[in-house]
Amino acid sequence: MSDSPTNTLNTWVEVPKNSDFTIYNLPFGVFQNKRLSPRIGVAIGDKIVDLSVLDQEGFFSDMFLPEGVFLNESLNELIGLGKVITRKIRERVQDLLLEDNEKLRDHSARGKVMVNRKEATMLLPVKIGDYTDFYSSLEHAANVGKMFRDPENALLPNWKHLPVGYHGRASSIIASGTPIIRPKGQMKNPESNTLVFGPSKKLDFELELAFITGKSTKLGDSVSTADAEDYIFGFVLFNDWSARDIQAWEYVPLGPFLGKNFASSISPWVVTLEALEQFRETGPPQEPEVMSYLKCDKPHSFDIQLEAYIQPEEEKSSKVCSSNFKDMYWNVAQQLAHHTVNGCNINVGDMMASGTISGKERDSFGSMLELSWNGSEVVKLESGTERKFIEDGDTVLMRGFAEKNGVRVGFGELKTKVLPAK
Beta-sheet strands, E only, within 52-179: 114-116, 121-122, 131-134, 165-168, 173-175
Q: Which of 240, 277, 279 is nearest to 262 (CA)?
A: 240
Judge whether 176 and 313 are in contact, CB under 8 Å. Answer: no
- The helix or strand, by DSSP H or E, that contains position 208, with its residue range, turns out to be strand 207-213
- The amino acid occupying position 260 is K
Q: How far apart are CA 170 and CA 131, in angstroms?
A: 5
Question: For the chain, give me the number of helices (H) and strands (E)?
Answer: 9, 26
Query: In the annotation, is 339 catalytic?
Result: no
Q: Which of 192, 229, 197, 196 is nearest to 212 (CA)?
A: 229
Judge whether 54 and 25 are in contact, CB under 8 Å. Answer: no
Judge whether 183 and 246 are in contact, CB under 8 Å. Answer: yes
Q: Which of 108, 158, 169, 101 is nearest to 135 (CA)?
A: 158
Q: Which residues contact 253 (CB under 8 A, 6 or more apart)?
A: none
From the candidates 107, 140, 161, 167, which is the catalytic residue?
140
Q: How far apart are CA 12 and CA 272, in angstroms?
A: 22
SS3 for 252? Answer: coil
The DSSP symbol for 407 reads: E
> In angstroms, what is the C-alpha Rg of the chain?
22
Q: Which of 204, 226, 354, 362 is nearest to 295 (CA)?
A: 226
The distance between the two most distant Cα atoms of the chain, rounded to a whole number of Å, is 72
Q: Which of 244, 231, 421 is nearest to 336 (CA)?
A: 231
Residues serving a catalytic function are 140
